[in-house]
Amino acid sequence: MASLWNNRITVSLFGEAQGPAIGVIIDNLPPGEHIDITELRNFMARRSPVGANARVRRPNDDMIQIMSGLIGGKTTGSPLCAFIQNLDNAPDENTFMPNRLARPGHADYTGAMRYRGFNDPRAGGHLSERLTIPLVFAGAVCGQILERRGIYCGAHILQIHNIKDKQFDNIKLSREEIIRLRKTKFPVLDSDKADLMKQDIEKAQSGGESLGGIVECAVINVPAGVGSPIFDGLENCISQLIFGIPAVRGIEFGAGFKCAEMVGSQNNDEFYINDMGHVVTKTNNHGGILGGISSGMPIVLRVAFKPSPTIAKAQDTVDYGAMENATLKPSGNVNPCIVPMAVPCVESAVNIAILSNMLDYPNF
């Protein structure tokens, strides 16, 4: 399976959703970097479901073991391996799922076709959202290394269903605002919208439905000149990692698709020299990246997530083992909205991409 990402930094995810363990190996991290384990666990704990009937899974509940690459709280330069034991390990896939029911919206059928029926079918196996836990571990490590250089990445819930939060100020976004969001259980900029979003989630849950939404992410203090053109652009690198998060359906940078409604003079961001003597732009429709290379302005992107495919309603499907039509009964384990738990996942993917590109930057 293609669960290896290699672009200066190498990130390899392993394990299945209900196998003995999941984990990650991160290679080519700078040596001598201090990693605060308490801060790392706090970052990972933000990835937990929302909803009264959701199964709350926190990485702190699982046994996280760092097997290599860290001594005395500092990176050694060798591969950093994190091993996360599964608490709800299912010992035998045959007793767990005797039928091969293709859950609508899931990758059960496509995974079985790709791997000729030998893939682990338990709760999605290696194709499960549970593999975002080791991804978040890797992103938390990379985030600490970046923040030591003054580079901060933060995200918030921009939209759930048809309820929208306000967008980031893509010119004056501050470190303080990013840290505040990180400490907020339901990260939005407008607290009134948080209440409306929660009510909508509860309404969907009571009706056996689920909701999708949008996460907006921004990175500040990335210097100009980071990245490469064409196929190795900064947007390319970020997007590849973002699409490693299950349920992602789209991504846009800066003004995104709204650029299609503009004329050139509206879309172009005019340059000027500010009071600090830095070259900046008056607007930031380009989202901090031009030609695949950072401009020095905040990097801003938005990620669209589909509604969770696991819903509390019966659905028509097929048993692809017996090759016959079937009905999938409602699941008792339903997370009505995955968007809140996706916030640290998006931050993590962006952290990995930014750090991998920063390694080429002079005097990093």
CA distance 110 to 215: 27
Residue written as token pair 């996280």: 64
Question: Comparing C-alpha atoms, which of 324, 276, 318, 278 is closest to residue 297?
Answer: 278
Confidence of residue 49 (pLDDT cuts 50, 70, 90): low
Dump pLDDT digits (tens) for 118-170: 888 887 778 888 889 999 999 999 999 999 999 999 999 999 999 999 999 99
What is the DSSP-derived secondary structure letter of residue 8? Answer: S
Q: Distance (Å, rounded) from C-alpha 205 to C-alpha 183?
A: 26
Quote the pLDDT of residue 283: 97
13 Cβ neighbours under 8 A, 6+ residues apart: 3, 22, 23, 24, 131, 134, 135
Percentage of the chain surpassing pLDDT 90?
Answer: 75
Residue spans of the domains in the chain: they are: 4-358
Question: Distance from first CA to last CA of the chain, Å, rounded?
Answer: 33
| Sequence letter at residue 312 | A
pLDDT beyond 50 at 38: yes
- Answer yes or no: are the C-beta atoms of 143 and 347 closer than 8 Å: yes
Instruction: Report, at the CATH architecture level, how domain 4-358 is classified.
Output: 4-Layer Sandwich (3.60)
For residue 56, pLDDT beyond 70? no
pLDDT in tens, 297-349: 999 999 999 999 989 999 999 998 889 999 998 876 788 999 999 999 999 99
175-204 burial: b if 16+ Cβ within 10 Å, else e: eebbeebbebebbbbeeebbebbbebbeeb
- Using the CB atoms, write b or e for 38-70: b if 16+ within 10 Å: eebeebbebbbbbbeebeebebeebebebeebb
Instruction: Determine contact, residues 233/227, Cβ cutoff 8 Å.
Output: yes
pLDDT 10s digits, 236-289: 999 999 999 999 999 999 999 999 999 999 999 999 999 999 999 999 999 999
Report the pLDDT value the prediction gives residue 122, as an integer from 0 to 100.
Answer: 80
Q: Considering the chain, what is the average pLDDT of its residues?
A: 91
